[in-house]
A = this chain, B = another copy of it.
Amino acid sequence: MMAGWEAVRDEVLRRIRARVWPPGAVIPGEEALAVEFGVARATVNRALREVAESGLLERRRKAGTRVAVLPVRKATLEIPIIRQEVEARGERYSQRVLAERMDPVPLAAALRMGLAEGVDLLFLETLHLAGGRPFAHEVRWLNPAVLPGGELPDFRHISANEWLVQNVAYTIGDIAFSAEAASPEEALALGIRTGDPVFVTERVTWSGEAPITFVRLLHGPGYRLRTML
């Protein structure tokens, strides 16, 4: 008898690796595996769910569970607030608000947020620092319509990033990563040269149907976004 779902998962992984269950094969049902392993069916279910989440098994309600032929592996990225990211590196976090004003949203940001061009949004430009040195440059459009009570904090004391996480829960979001060449303004803010490669994170979040914010975050050379597979 196996102790828990982790032991069942490990045995399932072993059989996939050893090709006891080759790619494309339908594996035995949960009931049969529960009997074989001497565990509850729920334990088998928990183990198979975990392996399916890794992409190695494909579960279909009627056709049963198959070993994936071309498993799509998945990686989970944690998206921390920037202050925590900096502090986790053992450095002191600070931030500087470079611009804050109501402004008509430009087309590119409006398209990302699903808004009409020219709607008035709050524009914020922030430099995040680690140990006093530029760490990330942030440009953000914030939809005042979704803010609680319409009352905004003093963004010199709390970053919009942190305040939103604490105060405005979103239901869905979209995130994209790319490599770009720093513009003269971006290079100046980050203390790098124009044209240097920057790691760009663009994120849009919605509360139901209403867009909350579109943010474009730039990290200079040397930044790595890392996770486990």
The residues of A with any CB-CB pair to B shorter than 8 Å are: 13, 16-17, 19, 23, 55-56, 69-81, 84, 148, 162, 165-166, 169-181, 195-200, 203, 205, 207, 219, 221-229
Query: Complex formed: what's the CA distance from A16 to B168 in Å?
Result: 9
Which of B13, B74, B162 has a CB less than 8 Å from the CB of A76? B74
**B70–A162 touching, CB < 8 Å:** yes
Contact A224 B17 (CB under 8 A): no
Query: What B residues does A77 contact at CB under 8 A?
Result: 74-77, 227
The answer on a CB contact under 8 Å between A179 and B166 is: no
Question: Which chain B residues lie closer than 8 Å to A176 at the CB level?
Answer: 224-227
- Copies of this protein, total: 2
Question: Known: A178-B225, A228-B174. Is A165-B71 also a contact (CB below 8 A)?
Answer: yes
A56-B169, A84-B70, A169-B13 given; A75·B197 CB < 8 A: no
A203 touches B174 (CB 8 A): no
Contact A227 B179 (CB under 8 A): no
Q: Which of chain B's residues have a CB closer than 8 A to the CB of A166? A: 23, 69-70
On whether the beta carbons of B73 and A79 are closer than 8 Å, the reply is yes
B178 and A223 contacting across the interface, CB-CB below 8 Å: yes
Cα distance, A195 to B194, chains bound together (Å)? 11
Quick one: given A78-B72, A173-B228, are A178 and B199 in contact (CB under 8 Å)? yes
Q: How far, in Å, is A87 (CB) from chain B's closest CB?
A: 11
CB-nearest residue of chain B to A24: B166
Q: Is the CB of A70 within 8 A of B81?
A: yes
Does A229 contact B173, Cβ atoms closer than 8 Å? yes
Seed contacts A76-B76, A174-B226; 8 additional CB < 8 Å A-B pairs:
A13-B169, A69-B166, A74-B78, A172-B229, A176-B224, A178-B179, A179-B179, A179-B223
Q: Which of A75, A171, A205, A219 has most B Cβ within 10 Å?
A: A75
Q: Which residues on the B side are within 8 Å of A224 (C-beta)?
A: 176-178
Judge whether A228 and B172 touch: CB under 8 Å. yes
